[in-house]
Amino acid sequence: MSIEGSRRTEILETAASLFASSGLRTSLKEIADACGIQAGSLYHHFESKDAIIVELVERYRADLDALAERVREAGAEGGPVADRLVELGGAIAECAVRHRAAFLFTLYDPPSVASDQLVSVARRRPIALEAALLELLEAGEASGEIRSGIDLATFADRLCQVLLHSSLPVFGPVVGPDSVPEIRSRALLDGVATRVPSDRALDRSEAFAAAEATIAGWQELEEQEDERLPMLRSVARAEFGRRGYEATTVRDIAKAAEMSVASVYRLVGSKDELLGSIMDRFVEVVRDGWRNVLGAEGSAVEQLDALTWVNINAVDRFTDEYNIQLAFLREEPPKSVNVGSTFVARLNDVKALLRNGLKSGELRIGGRSADVRAWALFELLWMPESVVAGVGPRSALTLARETTLRGLSPSGRRRA
């Protein structure tokens, strides 16, 4: 590699490290300082910060496309579909870890000042990888390794996101975090329930009734909030959900609300306080939903199913707030928003539920520690926004039951 190429690579790797830890607020000067060069020297290699980000994202996309091509080249000779899915899951997660900064940039719309090229590459879905996953799943269905009757196209979308999200850092120190992609893949292949009631029986469980009652009460909460919160908070909620907290400025919010920046500050005090008021409702509805479900009589399987229904409806009803919560897992949160303690409480709920379910023999899941098992399962209790929006809440629940609970393998037809 030439000296010019070596310097360019150094700049990209340094920028990627800074972006991964500090997000879009990282400046060109900070990148230059970390490289030990003058800020002006960067312009010999990249015309702007956007140009650096574009190349980082393009390299990430190229590696994902290479993984997709590897799956296609293997064809039917690649071995058992289940083993291939687990192996591919680890490779996808590793790719997202290796390109962490680029992966994070693809999770939100770019800032309003971003170049057209950056907007284009950031919004591009990993279509080749999703298609390769779908081909592999369809091959498994044809060979009898995957059960028929599952919406494989939608599941490929979900699986891709689940595996990419395995690259996100585990919340707190746990034993065996590197095993999360395999645990999630195996859980979806084999199902976490040893025996699963029929859908009709699950719909009639006390835990599901508690979930339904909670969801019905959200309408009243929304009406109360609409009376309290001005249009500004609605606009800010959409901006935070679309761009992420760090990338959204008060100026962005003011422009979207058609207000002056000074007026925004007078009304809300600060961006942190504005986000805090927005998230209070989401934290409350999820907390109450989980509390009501876990307080109802029922098996561990019924409670997991009802929690999934609460979560699916939360994603459907409070999409922007859900995306803001995801931002907490990806970047340092504002100190005024107590999402962190709420997230820890939900993880502890999953840990306790798993402990009871494993002890009674109702549940099964791999993992070297209770913490890593809870982290692995927590993601599977939520459904990606794209899936919920694409097929609707009820079909999303059906997909969760057919995969997370029963598993993709033919033995997943176990019913109580």
- Summarize pLDDT for 169-225 with one digit per residue, the tens: 655 555 556 888 999 999 999 999 999 889 999 999 999 999 999 999 887 655 554
Residue 55 covered by a domain:
no
What would the pLDDT profile of 80-96 be if each residue is shown by its tens digit? Answer: 899 999 999 899 989 98
Q: Tell which of 323, 342, 361 closes a domain.
A: 361
Average pLDDT, the chain: 84
Q: Are 400 and 312 in contact (CB under 8 A)?
A: yes
CATH number of the domain residue 347 falls in: 1.10.357.10
Residue 87 covered by a domain:
no
Residue 300 covered by a domain:
yes
Total domains in the fold of the chain: 2
Q: Tell which of 341, 361, 381 closes a domain.
A: 361
Q: How far apart are CA 173 and CA 369, in angstroms?
A: 11
Residue 242 covered by a domain:
yes
Please tell me the predicted confidence (pLDDT) of residue 335: 43
CATH number of the domain residue 12 falls in: 1.10.10.60
Please tell me the predicted confidence (pLDDT) of residue 174: 57
- Place 71 in a pLDDT band, splitting at 50, 70 and 90: confident
- Place 257 in a pLDDT band, splitting at 50, 70 and 90: confident
Residue 171 covered by a domain:
no
- pTM of structure: 0.83
Q: Which structural domain, as residue segments, surrounds residue 338? A: 199-361
Residue 8 has pLDDT above 80, yes or no: yes
Q: Which two tokens stand for residue 214?
A: 């909670």
What would the pLDDT profile of 362-400 be if each residue is shown by its tens digit? Answer: 999 998 889 889 989 999 999 988 999 999 999 999 999
Residue 350 covered by a domain:
yes
Residue 279 covered by a domain:
yes
Residue 410 covered by a domain:
no
